[in-house]
Amino acid sequence: MPHPNEFGNLTNWFSADEYHGKRLKMSAWVKSEVTRGNAQLWLRVDGEWKSAVDAGVFDNMDDRPIQGHTDWTQYSLVVDVPAESTDIVFGVMLIGSGQIWLDNVSFAAVSKDVPLTGMYSGESVKRAKANNLDFDELAQGSDEKTVVPTASPKSTAQNAIHEWYLEPKGEFEIKLDETQKHSGSRSAYIKSIVSKPTQFGQISQAFVPNKYLGTRLKLSAWAKSKLTSGTAHLWIRVDGEWNDNAYKPGCFDNMDDRPIKAETDWTQYSLVVDVPETSNHVLIGCFLDGAGEFWVDDFSLQIVGKECPLTGCYAVLKGCGKKEPANMNFEQNQDK
């Protein structure tokens, strides 16, 4: 979610009673004219459990957002509905700019043979910590350094950097780079392969923040850039029961107020967020929103004291640091 200050969400809900103990598939048709960012359907089963992630009852297409211009396409989200569920909440969100149309939302119980969807359904997000933060660990039996995920199927791309999700979107090459590194043998590398990318090249991973609940958390990472246009960003987002509002002030930073530009040598950046007791999972990552090359290495997470200030323009209030409400008479032009 690169620029959530431009964010729209449509939400609805109904009782989970009819689907207790069943696997539920939501299907919906979406047409998009997204000029920047992502459109994502989402589906969440609410109940008494501590973490939506543990229960495998949440999908928001974080791993497969709708981008650019697409004709009417049917998308499906599959979750489990535990017997103790109370409500099923769903919607569509546009994080960015453009237009989306939604139609024919339907729900059906499906057999357990139908796989759960999304990056919050599998083992990966049941992890209690982030992994391979220095990019020096390779998956067993793999030869990842030879994998070039450009324009390859998503499944291959996702395996290209151990423990990380990759979103090359056909406009970026994302891989490990042994020629540039801050530590060990390699770094993660994002390079645009078109002159004017319309999307983002991103790597991310999620984990369950059990040991961080109630704390203030600092994400640090080292990055190096050779950008010819645009910006590069590290980001961290803490998700919880406020998911249908996409982010909670103080729980999200993407360096929108201090992006990495042009050429920089290895520099350490830090992002500080709060992890409320009701958090479900934490996502960390980085993205290139522009053209050029970007390297990242040595992510680390550290609990800090409350005297350590929150970072970023989403720390306090939606609207990226605005101190006053704006455009109350609707006369201001959207173009800056």
Q: Which residues bind Ca ion (CB under 5 A)?
A: 134-136, 181, 183-184, 297
As given in the structure block, the two tokens for residue 301 are 């997470």
Task: Give the whole-angstrom CA distance, residue 65 versus residue 77.
Answer: 12
**Shortest gap between Cβ of 167 and Ca ion (angstroms)?**
21
Strand partners, 307: none
Of 80 and 163, the one with the shorter C-beta distance to Ca ion is: 163
**Shortest gap between Cβ of 171 and Ca ion (angstroms)?**
25
**Shortest gap between Cβ of 183 and Ca ion (angstroms)?**
4
Of 25 and 181, the one with the shorter C-beta distance to Ca ion is: 181
The type of residue at 18 is E
**Shortest gap between Cβ of 37 and Ca ion (angstroms)?**
30
Contact 190, 172 (CB under 8 A): yes
Shortest-Cβ-distance residue relative to Ca ion: 184
Contact 190, 199 (CB under 8 A): no
Of 24 and 147, the one with the shorter C-beta distance to Ca ion is: 147
DSSP 260: B
Of 182 and 191, the one with the shorter C-beta distance to Ca ion is: 182
**Shortest gap between Cβ of 295 and Ca ion (angstroms)?**
10
**Shortest gap between Cβ of 127 and Ca ion (angstroms)?**
20
Of 178 and 257, the one with the shorter C-beta distance to Ca ion is: 178
Task: Give the whole-angstrom CA distance, residue 17 versus residue 19.
Answer: 5
Q: What is the DSSP string of 226-239?
A: EEEEEEEEEEEEEE
Contact 45, 137 (CB under 8 A): no
Of 274 and 297, the one with the shorter C-beta distance to Ca ion is: 297
* Helix, strand, coil % in the chain, rounded to nearest 5: 5, 50, 45
